[in-house]
């Protein structure tokens, strides 16, 4: 047997033997009641009195106060001032425990209830529900939280499905849903229809006009910032992506494509672009247009042209429109664009244009260097030659106009539209009955592409006719020759310049061409 010696405690002197004082818990209560009648009002007063007496009579508790919301729904917590004040006091360390009558008094929304229970548990503050006899910090509380998490997911999923069904139904009825606070150019009338906001519409027109004049999205954005123009959300900062979205939005020509995005995950509300996952609905002439359809289609065509251009290595080229000849001058030898560079040749500074391929590798292209003065003078000479022989060139332009007047077959366009309406109705019927509609989706997409191409072809023809008229009117109205280079005129009339070894070929948007030989 082991020897064991008990060592007694040493006797303490004075206050050292005094027991450590136990810290009192700071306890608060929360109550809420709708006061639609006297019975509910008396219940509200009774709850406050009950909790005040209940907490004060416990010597281990320190009464913090009763947080009470009167006549406020618990569906969400945004308008419950006392509830939000209580939560803030918890975060600041002023409360150690909360009492409330029941879960329904604390929050009727499962998501909110679960959110705040978890948040309070993380800072070691229990919530005690009297009716259910549940303390959120004990094992029973853990089970409650688990059950509530499951209920919250079901509630969110059910809400998401109901919302989707409502939106889907409105889409099928052709009702356009637009938050005009974030949409430049339109307001809503009393019936919810889109109506033009004149001041904002001028900004939209400016964006489309400048893009067709050759400006890039970034340059347009910088110009809007420089002039103190704000976005639809009132932000003075513009991004080129914001400008691009405006240029791509079909609502500005009076149409509406519905269900462009959809909810990917109903729990975190993540949304994604609808690339054929769900049906879409395209409504023509839904509201008054800010941008005519032919101009809108010209912009789409120009955007496609800029994005499709590649360099010799197949890499996408950036677009710049800082100068009159930006992205216009091309090489006869390799087809690459010329770049504008500041040249220092033996101490003599000048601005010249050189083939991009030659700049990168002199062995791959031997194209000559062209001074900016030569390009400007060549344009002046080309215009003057047209003015000098105005009768001849106006007749050529009239011939071009006759060719451009040949338009698309209206019967074919109407046939496409009729077939599209049939497919849309069949798609709606199948969606409502839960039938598979994959085959319909493919045909609708194919017809939609045909319609867009037809519209773009028509827009291109209208644009060609407009440019022919512009050049013809310009030639006819000039009383004398031009002596100075006009950058705005070059941007308006000129489509491109081809650089040859002994010449410059100016290609006009009207289809006319003029070759200027080197002197």
What is the SS3 assignment for 217?
A: helix
Q: What is the pTM of this model?
A: 0.46
What is the SS3 assignment for 500?
A: coil
DSSP bridge partners of 29: 66, 99
DSSP bridge partners of 196: 186
Q: Name the burial class of residue 117, with classes exposed (0-12), middle (13-18) and buried (19+) by CB atoms within 10 angstroms of its CB.
A: buried
What percent of the chain stands above pLDDT 70? 63
pLDDT confidence of residue 17: 42
Ramachandran region of residue 229, left (φ > 0), alpha (ψ -120 to 50) or beta?
beta
Q: How far is CA 391 from CA 106, 192, 211, 387, 398, in A?
A: 87, 55, 33, 9, 11
DSSP 285: S
Closest CA to 217 of 200, 241, 235: 241
Q: How far is CA 207 from CA 181, 287, 417, 442, 456, in A?
A: 19, 20, 30, 34, 20
Sign of CA dihedral 207, 213, 214, 215: negative
Closest CA to 229 of 256, 202, 209, 211: 202
For the chain, domain boundaries = 22-155, 180-290, 323-517
Instruction: Measure the CA–CA gap between 457 and 404, rounded to whole angstroms.
Output: 11
Q: Which residue has the tokens 């006759």?
A: 402
| Per-residue pLDDT at 238 exceeds 90 | yes
What is the SS3 assignment for 70?
A: strand
**In this structure, which CATH number among 1.10.3720, 3.90.1750, 3.30.70, 2.60.120 belongs to the domain 180-290?**
3.90.1750
Instruction: Name the pLDDT band for 406 (thresholds 50, 70, 90).
Output: very low
Q: Which residue has the tokens 């070059």?
A: 490
Closest CA to 289 of 325, 331, 254: 254
| Per-residue pLDDT at 98 exceeds 90 | yes
Q: Which residue has the tokens 């356009």?
A: 176
Q: Name the burial class of residue 333, with classes exposed (0-12), middle (13-18) and buried (19+) by CB atoms within 10 angstroms of its CB.
A: middle
Calculate the CA dihedral of residues 161, 162, 164, 165 and round it to 10 degrees: 110
Q: DSSP strand E in 356-412: where? A: 370-371
The stretch 225-234 carries a mean pLDDT of: 91
Instruction: Measure the CA–CA gap between 271 and 376, rounded to whole angstroms.
Output: 51
Instruction: Name the pLDDT band for 301 (thresholds 50, 70, 90).
Output: confident
Which backbone phi and psi does 296 adopt, to 5 degrees?
-60, -45
At 114-165, the pLDDT tens digits run 788 889 989 999 999 887 778 888 877 767 766 765 665 566 566 656 555 5
Q: 207-225 burial, b for 16+ CB within 10 Å, e for fewer?
A: bbebbbebbbbbbbbebbe
pLDDT confidence of residue 201: 92
Sign of CA dihedral 62, 64, 69, 75: negative
Closest CA to 245 of 273, 279, 280, 266: 273
At 183-216, the pLDDT tens digits run 899 998 887 788 999 999 999 999 998 888 778 8
Instruction: Measure the CA–CA gap between 118 and 120, rounded to whole angstroms.
Output: 6
**In this structure, which CATH number among 2.60.40.10, 3.40.50.1390, 1.10.3720.10, 2.40.340.10 belongs to the domain 22-155?**
3.40.50.1390
End-to-end Cα separation, the chain, in angstroms:
124
Q: How far is CA 385 from CA 365, 390, 470, in A?
A: 31, 8, 17
């Amino acid at each position: 047997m082991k020897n064991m010696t008990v060592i007694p405690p040493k006797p303490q002197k004075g206050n050292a033997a005094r027991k450590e004082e136990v810290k009192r818990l700071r306890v608060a209560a929360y109550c809420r009641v709708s006061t639609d009648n006297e019975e509910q009002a008396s219940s509200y007063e009774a709850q406050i009195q009950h909790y005040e007496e209940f907490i004060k009579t416990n010597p281990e508790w320190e009464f913090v106060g009763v947080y009470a919301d009167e006549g406020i729904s618990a569906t969400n917590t945004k308008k419950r001032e006392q509830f939000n004040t209580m939560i803030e006091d918890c975060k600041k360390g002023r409360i150690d425990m909360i009492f409330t009558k029941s879960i329904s008094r604390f929050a009727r929304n499962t998501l909110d209830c679960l959110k705040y229970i978890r948040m309070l548990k993380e800072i070691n503050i229990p919530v005690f529900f009297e009716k259910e006899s549940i303390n959120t910090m004990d094992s029973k509380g853990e089970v409650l939280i688990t059950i509530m998490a499951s209920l919250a997911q079901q509630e969110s999923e059910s809400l998401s499905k109901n919302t989707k069904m409502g939106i889907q139904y409105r889409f099928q009825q052709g009702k356009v849903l637009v938050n005009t606070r974030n949409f430049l150019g339109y307001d809503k009338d009393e019936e919810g229809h889109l109506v033009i906001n004149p001041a904002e519409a001028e900004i939209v027109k400016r964006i489309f006009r400048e893009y067709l004049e050759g400006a890039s999205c970034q340059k347009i954005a910088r110009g809007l910032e420089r002039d103190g123009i704000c976005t639809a959300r009132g932000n003075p900062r513009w991004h080129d992506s914001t400008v691009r979205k405006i240029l791509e939005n079909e609502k500005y020509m009076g149409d509406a494509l519905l269900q462009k995005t959809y909810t990917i995950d109903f729990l975190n509300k993540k949304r994604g672009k609808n690339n054929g996952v769900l049906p879409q609905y395209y409504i023509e002439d839904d509201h008054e247009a800010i941008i005519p359809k032919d101009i809108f289609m010209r912009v789409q065509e120009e955007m496609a042209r800029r994005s499709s251009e590649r360099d010799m290595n197949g890499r996408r080229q950036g677009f710049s429109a800082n100068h009159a000849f930006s992205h216009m001058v091309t090489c006869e030898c390799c087809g690459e664009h010329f770049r504008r560079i500041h040249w220092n040749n033996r101490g003599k500074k000048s601005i010249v244009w050189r083939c991009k391929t030659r700049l990168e590798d002199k062995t791959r292209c031997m194209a000559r260097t062209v001074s900016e003065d030569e390009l400007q003078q060549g344009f002046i000479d080309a215009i003057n030659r047209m003015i000098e022989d105005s009768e001849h060139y106006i007749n050529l332009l009239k011939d071009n106009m006759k060719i451009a007047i040949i338009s698309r077959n209206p019967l074919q366009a109407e046939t496409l539209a009729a077939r599209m309406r049939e497919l849309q109705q069949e798609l709606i019927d199948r969606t409502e009955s839960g039938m598979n509609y994959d085959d319909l989706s493919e045909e609708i997409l194919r017809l939609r592409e045909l319609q867009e191409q037809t519209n773009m072809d028509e827009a291109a023809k209208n644009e060609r006719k407009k440019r022919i008229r512009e050049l013809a009117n310009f030639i006819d109205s000039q009383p004398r020759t031009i002596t100075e280079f006009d950058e705005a005129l070059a941007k308006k009339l000129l489509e491109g310049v081809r650089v040859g070894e002994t010449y410059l070929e100016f290609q006009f948007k009207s289809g006319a061409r003029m070759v200027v030989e080197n002197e």
